[in-house]
Amino acid sequence: MKYVKGMYAVMALMITVNLISEYIFKSNYSAIASWITVALFFFGTLFFINTRYVFSKQKNGR
């Protein structure tokens, strides 16, 4: 369950970065926000890969 919460936190951070970029900074820093969003996407992908690995080990009984 902690992996699902971690993936949810990463998704919420991605949306927060976009909202801050658009509404608070008026798109002045949209390129930086895009790079942060991409980095968070890769971080979320690592959560997903780790979760699949852990669940496959549990399923196989190791």
pLDDT tens readout for residues 23-33: 999 889 889 99
Q: Is 54 helix (H, G, I), strand (E, B) or coil?
A: helix
Within 10 angstroms of residue 13's Cβ, the number of other Cβ atoms is 15
Within 10 angstroms of residue 17's Cβ, the number of other Cβ atoms is 19
Q: What is the pLDDT along the chain (62 residues), one digit of tens a residue?
A: 677 788 888 889 999 999 999 999 988 988 999 999 999 999 888 888 888 888 888 888 65
Angle at 40 between CA 19 and CA 22, to 5 degrees: 15
Q: What is the pTM of this model?
A: 0.77
Closest by alpha carbon to 14, among 34, 31, 30, 28? 34
